[in-house]
Structure 1
């Protein structure tokens, strides 16, 4: 028992999200920058100068900063929560009392209920809900008393609702919305004084028996190798695309905010330079033609290119045809300038 518990604590030992500088709009020098993570952090754990800095003694790992980060510069491991939901989709999975449980459940650590447990439901992302829809699995999300919680805070239900709405917009193209329910737990949460990393560990030790069996493992993410193009795209957006099942028809409207370009474009390199995932490529052909291409699946819709465009020639388009994901989209070329 002790060995298993210590193993879980080891997996849970680093609640600070991974920061990938090249994806950050601040480091990309996008016009207007971005301070969403700093604004939403309930513990004043984030400071921004030339880059984002996280105070790991203040950070509780609630996940709010990762929910609002428009480019995936801040992230936790989404595969752990996805795996926890997937485990609960096994046919004829039976609960302790012998009844058939045909849905999945994720519980906030402060909700006072049993179930696969996340530190805070601010860890829930759109890809998780999109995937639950793909697996045709009803998903129940149970939070604690957020108004009085010092691990996440009162913003959590509102931000979680935004995540659910975004996921449902994505699933519209499949014709099969996700079955998701959000409710408050029946137990007593942890209010009172602010919770630090020490407080998180204290909470775990007080409920060691349930932690061993229910806590979703939380391991630090490895360093992003920027030389590998696939790693430039955050796992969250990769899973949003991967979990868009059943595959929409070729001309189906898929909700995926991404830039389009109008006639004011001068084919300068600014949009490509500020793109946090390098989804926009400015290329030169042997005949001297300049083109701008967009890798739609790599675009996070962060709006950096739109805000930074010198001639104000870009805007976000909310919906794209499924067929647009098959190959790079031509945004502009010098023959049309």
Structure 2
């Protein structure tokens, strides 16, 4: 364990400022003025999110509960914190991993932390269940004393959603609300390990800064730029490397088109992730292609279609082939 002076050093280095950032061009309401999505606003307990011409946050009101981050299907609101794989690395360093909140400074009973546990979505719980070797405990024991304590019910709903999509989550992730139920053993460190910890934190901070700089450089207000939300990227990583039928069938939406489709470019243009693409080549003519791995199920294509020819299903039904990373042809120009 550290002596008091060493602990001050560790706490100082470990302290990372987290804030939220908005990507206006990813907001569904900004992309289509008739869209009425307000998931981020509905989930905010302090009414800090406003939806006028675009999504914005009142940082004087915001308590950084991060619920809006986990609610947005298109990644219009994101948190500036270290990449997800660094959390997984820390949790895999101990046999009984505990994930907690950095806002609780007086009693750090966790091995890895985030600004607030409200940041997690169903996709995050699924990824934890696959990527973390041990049974991961989500430390909610101090949430009842926190100003963001109301986020627990929303987190529990997302956890239930994750179990519905991928039942093994229930065996690999545990939401712990009672102190006596938490099994926490601090990671013991000697002096040499402390310097290793400092190097690790320096690397983590460098990775976080690089992540932020890269995000700012790539940030664009152009509505023609297609971008995949980080949580869908995470699910794709898990599904590609650890393929299981439950994820491919229930974890991804599916799009279908009717005969009224005239192969106009509306859906391809409005899709924020590039899941729908209208190709027009001399060899094939007009072909509407669909990449299921890029679809978040936002429904913007169906809403924007002038012929109302598109339907979005939350999952595959019946005996349909549960493919994710294969391009489907939804409509081809008749010869």
Structure 1 and Structure 2 fold alike (TM over 0.5): yes
Alignment size in residue pairs: 293
Distance 1:316 1:78, change over 3 A: farther
Does structure 1 conserve the Cα–Cα contact (< 8 Å) formed by 2:249 and 2:322? Answer: no
2:269 aligns to what?
A: 273
2:194 aligns to what?
A: none
**Which has a greater percent of helix?**
2
1:58 pairs, out of 57, 61, 70, with 61
Partners of 2:33 and 2:299 lie apart in 1 by: 9
Q: Structure 1 residues 241-250 or 40-49, which shifts more?
A: 241-250
Provide the alpha-carbon RMSD of the alignment: 3.6
Aligned-pair distance for 1:71?
0.9
Question: More relative contact order in 1 or in 2 (CA 8 Å, sep 6+)?
Answer: 1
Distance 1:309 1:123, change over 3 A: same
Partners of 1:252 and 1:309 lie apart in 2 by: 26
1:165 aligns with 2:160: yes
Q: Structure 2: 5+ residue runs without aligned partners?
A: 1-5, 181-197
Q: Structure 1 residues 104-113 or 268-277, which shifts more?
A: 104-113
TM-score (norm 2): 0.73
Aligned-pair distance for 1:178?
5.1
Does structure 2 conserve the Cα–Cα contact (< 8 Å) formed by 1:282 and 1:291? Answer: yes
TM-score (norm 1): 0.73
Partners of 1:251 and 1:80 lie apart in 2 by: 23
1:8 aligns to what?
A: 14
Partners of 2:58 and 2:90 lie apart in 1 by: 34
2:232 pairs, out of 225, 228, 237, with 237
1:334 aligns to what?
A: 333
Within-5 A mapping of 1:1-337 = 1=6, 2-9=8-15, 11-12=16-17, 14-15=18-19, 17-29=20-32, 31-76=34-79, 80-90=83-93, 93=94, 102-108=95-101, 109-110=103-104, 114-115=109-110, 116-135=112-131, 136-144=133-141, 146=143, 149-150=146-147, 152-154=148-150, 156-171=151-166, 179-186=172-179, 221=212, 222-223=215-216, 224-225=218-219, 232-244=227-239, 246-248=242-244, 253-286=249-282, 289-320=285-316, 324-335=323-334
Partners of 1:276 and 1:262 lie apart in 2 by: 21
